[in-house]
Amino acid sequence: MSVELDMLFTQWQFRPIPLIVLILSTVWYIRGRHLVPNPKENVRPWLFATSMVVFVIATTSPIEAFAPHFFFIRVAQHVLLISLFPATFMGSNALEAIFYGAPAFVQDRLVQINKKYRSHIKFVTPKSICWFLFIATMWLWYDKAPFNAVLRYPTLRYFELFTMCFAAILHWWHVTASFPRIHKPLPTFPHIGYTWAGMLPLKIPGLVFLFSTQPFYDYPTAVFLGVTMDSLTNQQWGGVAIWMLGGLVYTSTAAKFFSAWMSIEADKPPQPISVWDNDETLRAPGL
């Protein structure tokens, strides 16, 4: 395959399922965002809008058209759907606004499910299981056999993208501590560590792709904007894409949590000198 510059602007693919998800999410979000308790604190429209733009780029833009032909583009699509999209979507607390904006029968059904299965859902979705599921899903689809199967059978790509995105949303549900709030949030530093741990499914394969000397996948030689790429070059550029894009969202999110903790600590009133500047406080333990 040969990709020319003009094809980056013309190869848009508007498929029904992504469009239905986009339209329903947007309509229900707009209807429900003012109905959420404390909307100024719990609703972040700019993050939701960003998530929808990322979703459209990942599922309908030329990225979707060229992903079966270029490994590094497929990696970029994965990174968008497992990091930037879920980070902004869950960070906007979109599910709460969508719940309040959904039709009454949908809300009633979800309330019934919550009452009946809340304890079961809590039991099967702790942070450890969601993190492990996230890693297992990413690495499963990057295994040689499933990955090449997706190349041979394009319909498998929809199942691949759905499972990766779903696992990522579960992971980011804990990272953002967003609706539905079933689990207790982690303390600050374990929370930062849990966020950084989300980089593992990307960083480790990225290293392998970047420094590999043999291609793992059955990508044919193709031309992208005048640059000829064989399977190995394609794979190595995929490793570069993972390292440039993959950890950026997780690192920036963890840094945001650390900055928020620093702000909270800075806003605390200083302790009076008499509390800590005395013989009893300064005495060495055991003396």
Residues contacting residue 135 through CB under 8 Å, at least 6 positions apart: 200, 201
pLDDT at 103 over 60: yes
Measured in degrees and rounded to the nearest 5, phi and psi for residue 2 equal -125, 125
User: How many angstroms separate the CA atoms of 287 and 279, rounded?
Assistant: 12
Contact (Cβ atoms closer than 8 angstroms) between residue 176 and residue 195: no
Q: How confident is the model at residue 128 (pLDDT cuts 50, 70, 90)?
A: very high
Tell me how far apart the alpha carbons of residues 74 and 217 are, in angstroms, rounded to a whole number.
12
Does the pLDDT at position 259 exceed 90?
A: no
Predicted local confidence at residue 264, as pLDDT: 66
Coil, strand or helix at 137: helix
pLDDT score, position 271: 61
pLDDT (average), residues 62-83: 89
Q: What is the pLDDT of residues 267-285, one digit of tens each?
A: 667 666 665 566 665 565 5
**In whole angstroms, how far apart are CA 93 and each of 3, 193, 196, 266?**
38, 21, 20, 27
Average pLDDT over residues 53-57: 94
Q: Each residue of 230-257: pLDDT tens digit?
A: 888 888 888 888 887 777 787 788 777 7
With helix as H, strand as E and coil as C, how does the chain read?
Answer: CEECCCHHHHCCCCCHHHHHHHHHHHHHHHHHCCCCCCHHHHCCHHHHHHHHHHHHHHHHCHHHHHCCCCHHHHHHHHHHHHHHHHHHHHHCCHHHHHHHHCCHHHHHHHHHHHHHHHHHHHHHCCHHHHHHHHHHHHHHHHCHHHHHHHHHCCCHHHHHHHHHHHHHHHHHHHHHCCCCCCCCCCCHHHHHHHHHHCCHHHHHHHHHHHHCCCCCCCCCCEEECCEEECHHHHHHHHHHHHHHHHHHHHHHHHHHHHHHHHHHHHHCCCCCHHHHCCHHHHCCCCC
Q: What is the pLDDT of residues 147-203, one digit of tens each?
A: 989 988 888 988 999 999 999 999 999 999 888 889 888 888 888 888 888 887 788
CA distances from 232 to 99, 250, 274 (A): 46, 28, 67
Predicted confidence at residue 252, as pLDDT, reads 80
pLDDT of residue 197: 83
Domain spans of the chain, in order of start: 2-259
Q: How much is the pLDDT for 88? A: 93
Whole-number Å distance between alpha carbons of 144 and 35: 47
- Is the pTM higher than 0.75? The answer reads yes
pLDDT for 261 equals 67
Q: Stretch 1-9: mean pLDDT, rounded?
A: 69
Which band of pLDDT confidence, cut at 50, 70 and 90, is reported for residue 27?
Answer: very high
- Of the chain, the percentage scoring pLDDT greater than 90 comes to 38
Encoded tokens for 49: 């809008």
Identify which has the larger pLDDT, 262 or 216. Answer: 216
Assess whether pLDDT exceeds 60 at residue 87.
yes
Compute how many other C-beta atoms are within 10 angstroms of the C-beta atom of residue 254.
Answer: 21
Q: Which one of 42-51, 118-127, 227-236 scores highest in mean pLDDT?
A: 118-127
Q: Tokens standing for 264? A: 């909270």
Task: State how far the Cα of 185 lies from the Cα of 197, in Å rounded to an integer.
Answer: 16
The length of the chain in residues reads: 287
Looking at residue 130, what is its pLDDT?
Answer: 94
What is the token pair recorded at 94? 């979109």
